[in-house]
Homo-oligomer: A and B are copies of this chain.
Amino acid sequence: MVVETVGRALTKAPRVVIRGIGDLLGRRSAPVGSPPGALAIDDSLPPPRISVMARTAEGVIERETDRIDELRDAVGASQLSWIDVQGLGDRAALEGLAEAFGIHPLALADVVHTSQRPKVETYPDHDLLVVRVLALNEAGEMEVEQLSVVVGASYVITFQERYGNILDPVRRRFRAQLGPLEEHGGDFLAYAIVDTVVDGYFPLLEAFADHLEDLEEKVMARPRPAILTEVQKTKRTLIMLRRSVWPLREALNIMLRERSPRFTEAIHPYLRDTYDHCVQVHEVTESYREVASELTNTYMSMVANRTNDVMKVLTIMASVFIPLTFIAGVYGMNFEHMPELHERWGYPAVIGVMISVGLGMLLFFWKRGWLGDGRDDP
């Protein structure tokens, strides 16, 4: 299961994938000037794999099918059905599904063009929730996927870009009719799905915390340009994360204020709960961005510190030896009449003067506190 994999990836190699500047933009499938609602299928995505879970009087029925009429029958015969579509790589299947359930062309376009901002939109016959699934893969890299949820009168349809098991926990709870999913309708199912996605942001934040602590240690120990690059890329990944959370927070806020007919009064405290989690994720993300900004300052300070250390070594060496070399130079002059040269005590006296001058310089630097080793002493 993905969630457990994330856990394992974290304990093994807490690392967040680093992204280039272009990734801040995301994919956009429809070419400029296409009519609205024109679908530009991304061929790299797998063909849809459709499954349905339906709560009927006899219990929960599960089936995997790609026949639209079968899906429609299943929905018709149940109290509440959950159609899960994984893979968006087939235009005909998606358009068939949309037609069968009366999904608005713009809603379908938002489902297919997978770099939407998270949002909630109310159409006459259904609501559309778009959220972004962020997860660490087995290599510990952050992966972004769009999850679209269409909430109709007696059905919920989820669309994922690729095959995946991110929704397995919800599936288990729906199968067992656990918690509020037992008695309530599609609004509670949609809530459970969105809540599971938002819960998945927290292990990510933990990975970021580890990554930033790791970077901080490296900056303090040995500031190198490569670390600076990594700090900035981490900052960009955090911007990505914020852009996944902030609009969702807004969207949930709108849902709480202007409730759609398909969302009952009873869901209110639950949505508020998910809203609170979004706010928390957003706040922590902002704090981490501040930390990443600080790291750039720390980097600069560390480099300045090291330059200062290098300077001190140079200054001490040069200041101690330059005067001594001068003295040696004086007595290396070839004047005929330099009385000191001919005295017995000349050489030892000059050596003595040199030692005094050298020690004097060292004393001067010691008083200035320059003779520490330039490292940090507590």
Interface residues of A in 257-302 (CB under 8 A from B): 269-270, 272-273, 276, 279-280, 283-284, 287-288, 290-291, 294, 296-302
- A243 to B318 CA separation, bound complex (whole angstroms): 53
Q: How large is the interface on A (under 10, 10 to 19, 20 to 34, 35 or more residues)?
A: 35 or more
Could you say which of B33, B195, B226, B335 contacts A196, with CB atoms under 8 Å apart? B33
Binary contact readout A321-349 vs B (1 if CB under 8 angstroms, 0 otherwise): 11111101111111111101111101100
- Interface segment among A58-66, A69-77, A79-87, A217-225: the answer is A217-225
What residues on B are CB-neighbors of A109 within 8 Å? 273
What's the Cα separation between A329 and B33 when bound, in Å?
78
A220 to chain B, nearest CB (A): 6
A376/B225 contact (C-beta < 8 A), A106-B269, A173-B35 known: yes
B310 touches A300 (CB 8 A): no
Cα–Cα distance between A319 and B319 once the two chains are bound (Å): 11
In whole Å, how far is A314's beta carbon from the nearest beta carbon of chain B? 4
Q: Contacts A32-B202, A298-B228, A319-B317 known; A332 to B328 CB distance under 8 Å?
A: yes
Residues of B within 8 A of A330 (CB): 328, 351, 354
* A55 contacts across to B, CB distance below 8 A: none
Closest to A213 in B: B21
Does residue A44 face the partner (Cβ distance < 8 Å to B)?
Answer: no
Please determine whether B236 and A38 come into contact, CB atoms closer than 8 angstroms.
no
Q: For the complex, is A47 an interface residue (Cβ under 8 Å from B)?
A: no
Bound state CA distance, A209 and B26, in angstroms?
11
Residues A228 and B301 in contact, CB atoms below 8 Å apart? yes
Number of copies: 5
Decide if A213 touches B22 in the complex (CB within 8 Å). Answer: yes
Query: Which among A30, A33, A368 has the highest number of chain B CB atoms within 10 Å?
Result: A33
Counting CB contacts under 8 A, is A28 at the interface? yes
Contact, CB under 8 Å: B32 / A200: yes
Contacts A209-B21, A304-B303, A317-B322; A179 near B37 (Cβ below 8 A): yes
Q: Which residue on B lies nearest to A172, using beta carbons? A: B33
A301 partner residues in chain B, CB cutoff 8 A: 225, 228, 296, 299-300, 303
Q: At the interface, yes or no: A156 with Cβ under 8 Å from chain B?
A: no
In this complex, what residue of B is CB-closest to A340?
B335
Q: Known contacts A296-B297, A310-B311, A335-B347; is A36 also within 8 Å of B319 by CB?
A: no
The answer, yes or no, to whether A370 is at the interface (CB within 8 Å) is: yes
The 5 closest A-B pairs by CB, nearest first: A33-B169, A328-B329, A35-B179, A331-B333, A22-B209
Sample (11) of A-B pairs whose CB atoms are under 8 Å apart? A20-B213, A36-B270, A38-B179, A106-B269, A232-B294, A239-B287, A303-B304, A322-B325, A331-B334, A332-B333, A335-B347
A3-B33, A310-B311 known, 17 other contacts, Cβ within 8 Å: A24-B284, A33-B200, A35-B180, A36-B192, A110-B273, A225-B376, A226-B378, A239-B287, A296-B301, A300-B301, A303-B308, A304-B304, A307-B307, A314-B314, A318-B322, A329-B332, A330-B351
